[in-house]
Structure 1
Amino acid sequence: MIEISHVTKRYGSTTVVDDVSLEIPPGGVTSVIGANGAGKSTLLSMVSRLLEADSGRITVDGLDVTTTDSGTLARTLAVLRQENHVAVRLTVRDLVAFGRFPHSGGRLSEADHRAVDEAIDYFELAAFADRPLDRLSGGQRQRAHVAMVLCQGTDYVLLDEPLNNLDMRHSVHIMRRLRTMADELGKTVVMVVHDINFAARYSDRIVAMRDGALVAHGPVDTMLTPGVLRDVYDLDIPVHELHAGPIADFYG
């Protein structure tokens, strides 16, 4: 379980996350939605210890993210940042292998190599495994970064806008694989996503934020409603029920 208790983050006089308390149960997919500037990425960064909270407490599987040693935390949760610039000329295999560092310390064992191969296969990257990242499309590079996160072998996977710069086909592929990671591999997947229909289709739970505050959270069918969407986006958005679940009609 991820427990967030009265967490606040400020930059000067600006509060970007405002006294947020939230529990995310283990297992399944949780999507964090909200307009730009809602505090979504900042909250995820504090959960993953990329940012330090000004007040409050965050635990992951009972581990306080502020005080837990880096090695233990890296074997508990993996994070994909919103921006992933690789300065050196790595291959896909090199990048994915970085995910094993918390386990191998840089000296990969036979088991580590197997984990790298499995992550590459899981995201259908075998044909590009030995290709430099700068010779891949944006979608292929993003899949390689998500494969690295999977290769870390953690129970908790945090992703900040994993669909960045992806076309529809690659977005669907990534979301399907993340859904499968939760269902078949038992991962707890938490991600920031802008497309609320992707969130509705592939998530178990949605967390909605606005202006740094928590607006609402719960199962998809209780969250994807005109009332909640109005509170989050200040728009009147019709919601239709399809065979796969609710869908927001931005053009209605």
Structure 2
Amino acid sequence: MITLSNVRKSYNSEVSIGPVDLQIPAGGITALVGPNGAGKSTLLTMIGRLLGLDEGTIEIGGYDVTTTKSKDLAKIVSILRQENHYVTRLTVRQLVGFGRFPYSKGRLTVADEEVISRYIDFLDLRALENRYLDQLSGGQRQRAYVAMVLCQETDYVLLDEPLNNLDMRHSVQMMQHLHKAARELGRTIIIVLHDINFACHYGDRICAVKDGRIAEFGTPEEIMTDDLLTRVFETPVECINGPRGRLACFY
């Protein structure tokens, strides 16, 4: 479980996050949605301890992210940010291998290599493992980064807009991989998404963020209502029943 208690972060008198009180159950996919500037990515980076808190506490699996040693926290939670500044002469396999650093400290063992191969196969990257990152498409490169994060083998995985710059086909493929990781690998995945329909279709829970606070938190069925989404996104929304669940139509 991830627990946020009275979490606050202030940038200036006009921009602030919180207070946030939230409990995210272990297991499945929880999608953070909301308008631009709502605070989704800020919340995620605070959970992953890439951004400090002004007030409050965050616990992941019972560990306080502020006080837990980095070497221990790196075996509990992994995070992939939006900005992935890759080294062009790095191969896919080398990149995925970075996920083993909390265990190997850069000296990969035979066991580490087996884990790397496992996640390369999991993300369907076997044919690309010796390619350099600058030889890949955006979708292939994003899969490699997700493989690296999963290779860290943490129970909790934080992903900040992993569908950014992906077309529809690659977005669907990415969400299918993440859904599989949650189900087959037992990972708890927290993901920032802009597309509410992806959040509804693949998410087990949706957390709607607005103005730096939690506007709503619940199952897709609870969140996908006309009034709620219209209020959160401040634009007319109509939810319709599709063949695979509710869909949001924006006007």
* Gap runs ≥5 in structure 2: none
Asked if 2 retains the 8 angstrom alpha-carbon contact of 1:75 and 1:153, the reply is yes
Map 1:40-189; keep pairs closer than 5 Å.
Answer: 40-87=40-87, 89-189=89-189
- Where 2:46 maps in the other structure, the secondary structure is helix
Q: Deviations over 1:38-95 (max 9, x none)?
A: 0000000000000001111000000000000001100001101011011352100000
Distance (Å, rounded) in 2 between the aligned partners of 1:153 and 1:111: 13
Match of 2:35 in 1: 35
1:23 equivalent in alignment to 2:14: no
| CA root-mean-square deviation | 0.9
Asked if 2 retains the 8 angstrom alpha-carbon contact of 1:8 and 1:54, the reply is yes
Q: Residue 245 of structure 1: CA displacement?
A: 1.0
- Letter aligned with residue 164 of structure 1: N
Asked if 1 retains the 8 angstrom alpha-carbon contact of 2:119 and 2:147, the reply is yes
TM-score by length of 1: 0.98
Asked if 2 retains the 8 angstrom alpha-carbon contact of 1:16 and 1:37, the reply is no
Asked if 2 retains the 8 angstrom alpha-carbon contact of 1:4 and 1:20, the reply is yes
Q: Residue 16 of structure 1: CA displacement?
A: 2.9
Asked if 2 retains the 8 angstrom alpha-carbon contact of 1:28 and 1:204, the reply is yes
- Where 1:141 maps in the other structure, the secondary structure is helix
- Letter aligned with residue 58 of structure 2: I
- Letter aligned with residue 10 of structure 1: S
Distance (Å, rounded) in 2 between the aligned partners of 1:198 and 1:49: 26
- The percentage of aligned residue pairs carrying the same residue is 54
Distance (Å, rounded) in 2 between the aligned partners of 1:61 and 1:54: 21
Q: Deviations over 1:173-199 (max 9, x none)?
A: 110010111111110000000000000
Asked if 2 retains the 8 angstrom alpha-carbon contact of 1:35 and 1:233, the reply is yes
- Letter aligned with residue 66 of structure 1: T
* Gap runs ≥5 in structure 1: none
- Where 1:200 maps in the other structure, the secondary structure is helix
Distance (Å, rounded) in 2 between the aligned partners of 1:54 and 1:143: 34
Asked if 2 retains the 8 angstrom alpha-carbon contact of 1:8 and 1:15, the reply is no
Asked if 1 retains the 8 angstrom alpha-carbon contact of 2:28 and 2:186, the reply is yes
Distance (Å, rounded) in 1 between the aligned partners of 2:133 and 2:152: 19
TM-score by length of 2: 0.98
Asked if 2 retains the 8 angstrom alpha-carbon contact of 1:16 and 1:42, the reply is no
Q: Residue 230 of structure 1: CA displacement?
A: 1.4
- Letter aligned with residue 83 of structure 1: E
Asked if 1 retains the 8 angstrom alpha-carbon contact of 2:235 and 2:250, the reply is no
- Comparing 74-83 and 84-93, the one that deviates more: 84-93
Q: Residue 243 of structure 1: CA displacement?
A: 2.8
- Letter aligned with residue 110 of structure 1: V
